Structure formats: C-alpha cells, structure tokens
Amino acid sequence: MFSKLFAIALAATSVAAEAVPGYSGYSVVWQENFNGPAGSLVNQNTWNIYQGANSANNEKEVYTNSNQNHQLSGGATLQIVPQLNNGQWTSARLESKYVFTPPDGKKTIIEAKIRFGSNPASQKQGIWPAFWLLGDSIRHGTPWPQCGEVDILEVVSGKPTGYGTVHCDVAPGGICNEYNGIGGTISNPDNDWHAWRIITDRTPSNWAQESITWYRDGVQFMQVTGGRINNQNVWNSLAATPQYIILNVAVGGDFPGQPNAQTTGGFGSDMEVAYVAQYQSN
C-alpha cells in the first residue's frame, strides 16, 4: 500500500526539468538539477547522506538513507519527506561533497528553488525544513559555531515566514548572540515555488565592508556585514573560508518546538527542491 501511495505522490508532485536561471554579470560555477529516475536517491558522488540521530537542538528525527525519506521525483526535483512510523520520526539530511570558498574580489551567489508540501500549518507543528551552509572546518575538528553557519532559509511549523540567520564565534553568547544567531525574516506567501538566495560580496577592499545579503525571489530581507561582526577571523568563518551546502527537514527541536498529535508526515509536509546553484561574478 505504501509503495502504491508513494508512486501516486510522485506523479502528483513531479515537475518538468528546469534550467538553472542565468544572471547578468555572473557565471554558474556549480549546479545540481536532481535529474534521475523516480524513487532513486541523490547522486552519492555529489552528496553525503547523513544517517542517524542528530543530538543538536533536541530534535526528534532519525536521518536515513531510505527513499521513503528522500528521493528524486523523476521530474528533476528532490523531495525530502519526514515520516512518522510506530512513534519514530524519520527524515533526510543531504550534505554536499562540493566545497567552495567565496573568492576575494568577487560576489558569490548560492541559490535554491524550493516549495513545501500542502499540509496546513496545524499539521506541521515541529516540521523544520532548511537550506543552509556550514563551514567545512567542522569536518576537520573545528567545533560549532566557530566553524561558521549561514542559514539561507528556514521555515518552522508551517508558518508563513522565511528565516535567514548566521551563527558564529562561541556559544552561548558571543558575537552572534548564540544560540539565537543574527537573523532576519520575510514573509513566505505560500507553499509554492520560490527562489531563496544569498550573495556574499567580497568586492570591497576592506573586509569590514564585505557583506552577506539574503533574498526571496530577488527581494532583500537580511544583511550582515563584516563591520557588524567586527572581528575579521569570525567574519572569515562566515564569508571567506570553505563551506558546503545542506538540505534537510528536521522534526522538533528548540526552534520550532516539538511535534504534537496533529503533526502529519508524508508529502504534505515535505520540502521539494528544483535546483541548487553557485554563481560567481565575472
């Protein structure tokens, strides 16, 4: 029965393959279009599939490599699907093997086109999809948040708000006011497709004038500058050192709160991604 329903959901949510958009003055450096057969996993030459429980944030999910939790739609999209089975939440977290460093003297765009499942907010308490970056130094022993974290988009509990945030320095407290981080918000008008982007601007000659700026569909909603961080080493952890890309749907945690009896898994609570791309100014 599950397989049959899964196939129906695939057909209902697939979209035609979509080219990564071009932007004047920029070239595409890296892209992921999620091409592949329906029901298959992401290309594991490109993505690490995180497995196991995540002890951070008091989350409830266990991340798996099952196509019940993430899969290619067959229509050039990725679907990350939280599921509740026998009292246990499962989901997926994908981390790019690709690592990039925003180059000095250039602007770097990181962008994804994302939509969310159609369940109402009353059925999404604790559902926490995210598109974000971590400093690659965390893979080599640097603890969080010293490694640097840039959250391009988070949505919590189905609320019509997109969050952009940086985490840095030390926790608790520190320059980035951990565990809250430095953040801003914008309305997320519906669950349909929207492009979420940051531009890391390293063109100024002074690091304090460099910036990271957040956009939804080209509308700016958040900016952090080197001067606001006011510490070059900490700023570099956010804007001038190697980073990798993460796509995941968490369940529960300190930010969204825990799921309740009305929280529903499945495709109605999924995150679907049409592409992820990195651009660099010419």
| CATH number of the CATH domain containing 8 | 2.60.120.200
Length of the chain: 282
- Asked if the structure places residue 134 within a domain, the reply is yes
- Asked if the structure places residue 199 within a domain, the reply is yes
- Asked if the structure places residue 20 within a domain, the reply is no
Expressed as residue numbers, the domain containing 132 is 2-15+26-281
- Asked if the structure places residue 33 within a domain, the reply is yes
Q: How many domains does the chain have?
A: 1
Prediction pTM value: 0.93
- Asked if the structure places residue 21 within a domain, the reply is no
- Asked if the structure places residue 256 within a domain, the reply is yes
Separation between Cα atoms, residue 28 and residue 22, nearest integer Å? 8
pLDDT per residue, tens digit, the chain (282 aa), is: 333 344 434 444 444 557 899 999 999 999 999 999 999 999 999 999 999 998 789 999 999 999 999 999 999 999 999 999 999 999 999 999 999 999 999 999 999 999 999 999 999 999 999 999 999 999 999 999 999 999 999 999 999 999 999 999 999 999 999 999 999 999 999 999 999 999 999 999 999 999 999 999 999 999 999 999 999 999 999 999 999 999 999 999 999 999 999 999 999 999 999 999 999 999
- Asked if the structure places residue 61 within a domain, the reply is yes
Separation between Cα atoms, residue 223 and residue 234, nearest integer Å? 16
- Asked if the structure places residue 163 within a domain, the reply is yes
